[in-house]
Amino acid sequence: MNIVILTIILPYPLDSGGAQAQYNMIDRLRRMHNITLVFPINEMNSVAALNQLRDLWPDVDFRPYSYAKQLANPKFFYSKAERFIKKTFMKNSERFQVERMLKPYGYSMDGRFVNFMNNIIAEKNADVVQVEFYPYLSFVHKLPKNVRKIFIHHEIRYIRNKRLLANIRLLKKEANFMEELRRKEIDDLNAYDAVVTLTDVDKNELTAAGVTTPILVSPASINAELMKYSGWNGNITFLGGYSHTPNQEGMEWFVDKVLPLVDWSKYPNAKIQIVGGGWPASYNNIEKPVTVQCRGFVKELAPVAHGSIMIIPILSGSGMRMKILEAAAMGLPMVTTTVGVEGLLFQNGVECMVADAPQDFAAALEKLMANEELRAELTNNARELYEQKYSVEATSNVRNSVYMNSSKK
């Protein structure tokens, strides 16, 4: 089958959950189908990363859209300029923070890009066009009518907006704009032939919201080395890049609200490490009774994270948290929030600890730090569940069935 994938994120390096979700699925399915990957070159999608990925996937046809062509679009150019000015002079403005959350910037969908995409679809005689990530959701209206169109919904944006802005008093025009975006998201989804969500929770939410397009559930996966629990080495690990707003929000909550409630005097060798790109150096200088260290992006997670306790203090967002799967595969006991484990089958007290209030999260973390038997039990259960439901083989078989049931109209 000829599948053309339009994505805003080149799935390499594996420095985000979205990149991992794409990479592991394509890595498996490229052996079953003819895959063409269309994406823009930008600060996230570099030529260097593209060349590395070409070496890994010689059987995938890569079609990058150059940054120069994007800048030639006046609307795109002025959008980037406006964003730069506002980030420089208005970064602390609450109104700008709301705008940043609601309005995606920096993605060109002008006529030249549309022609670029549609020429590739025709050239490849595509059976399916797969669109990934919210900023390209409305691209469905620009695609040929005779091609089956599938949208991979990694994260329901109106749910993310609602959760991120829950503690901000919105102006009337901002609230109206947020509701307008919600309605448009649903309308755009209904223009596709099929929508794929990563969890049943997201499927049920979209169905209740009025999405009538067939919704299929196809979990994402990670390609991690399976490891057994081997004891706790004193490290407590958070995994995620700073550019993803729910990660920022979650770590600020943990540092400000949870960390002070833990009796660190009982664990003098404990250390918190943040693994992921973009975190400000200020996190290394936090004046707290425990060391906090930013490790940056690492190519190999296992040597850094194995032996630690994983924390997933996520308060907002939607979709599926790859952090949970990383912890399960690597044999890491974990403490998460309800949002962090949402849509996954991991249960409180069985495969992980789940807590939402700061005092409960702190208590759950202390319970794990103090109890070797509990850590071993949770990790064994989590690894077994991962192998049954979330391995690359299990999840790619589900996604392949989506394609096999798709054909040209």
pLDDT band at 5 (very low <50, low <70, confident <90, very high): very high
Cα 215 → chain centroid: 19
Structural Rg of the chain based on CA atoms: 21
Residue 230 clears pLDDT 80, i.e. is over it:
yes
Residue 328 clears pLDDT 50, i.e. is over it:
yes
CB 154 within 8 A of CB 135: no
Reading phi first (left if > 0) and then psi (alpha if -120 to 50, else beta), residue 55 is in alpha
DSSP string, 344-387: S---BTTTBEE--SHHHHHHHHHHHHH-HHHHHHHHHHHHHHII
Range with the poorest average pLDDT among 95-109, 179-193, 266-280: 95-109
Across the chain, what does the average pLDDT equal? Answer: 91
Burial-class residue 64 by CB neighbours within 10 Å (0-12, 13-18, 19+). Answer: middle
pLDDT band at 260 (very low <50, low <70, confident <90, very high): very high
Burial-class residue 55 by CB neighbours within 10 Å (0-12, 13-18, 19+). Answer: exposed
**The predicted structure's pLDDT at residue 104:** 66
Q: State how far the alpha carbon of 322 is from the alpha carbons of 30, 98, 277, 325, 327, in Å.
A: 21, 26, 16, 5, 9
Q: What's the pLDDT tens digit per position in 151-174?
A: 999 999 999 899 889 889 999 999
Report all structural domains of the chain as residue ranges with CATH numbers, in order of start: 2-221+392-404 (3.40.50.2000), 235-390 (3.40.50.2000)
β-partners of residue 272 are 236, 292
**The predicted structure's pLDDT at residue 406:** 61
Residue 149 clears pLDDT 60, i.e. is over it:
yes
Cis, peptide link before residue 13, omega less than 30° from 0: yes
Q: What's the pLDDT tens digit per position in 368-399?
A: 999 999 999 999 999 999 988 888 777 878 88
pLDDT band at 183 (very low <50, low <70, confident <90, very high): very high
Residue 196 clears pLDDT 50, i.e. is over it:
yes
Q: What's the pLDDT tens digit per position in 22-77?
A: 998 899 889 999 999 999 998 888 899 999 999 999 999 999 999 999 888 888 88
Burial-class residue 61 by CB neighbours within 10 Å (0-12, 13-18, 19+). Answer: middle
pLDDT band at 116 (very low <50, low <70, confident <90, very high): very high
Instruction: Please state at what angle helix 157-164 crosses helix 172-189, rounded to 10 degrees.
Output: 160
Residue 326 clears pLDDT 80, i.e. is over it:
yes
Estimate the share of the chain in helix, then strand, then coil, as percent rounded to the nearest 5: 50, 15, 35
**The predicted structure's pLDDT at residue 101:** 83
pLDDT band at 408 (very low <50, low <70, confident <90, very high): very low
Cα torsion angle, 312, 317, 318, 322, sign? negative
Give the integer Cα–Cα distance in Å for 52 and 56. Answer: 7
| 245 token code pair | 């707003």
Give the integer Cα–Cα distance in Å for 162 and 123. Answer: 41
Beta strands in 240-349 (DSSP E): 271-275, 291-296, 309-312, 334-336
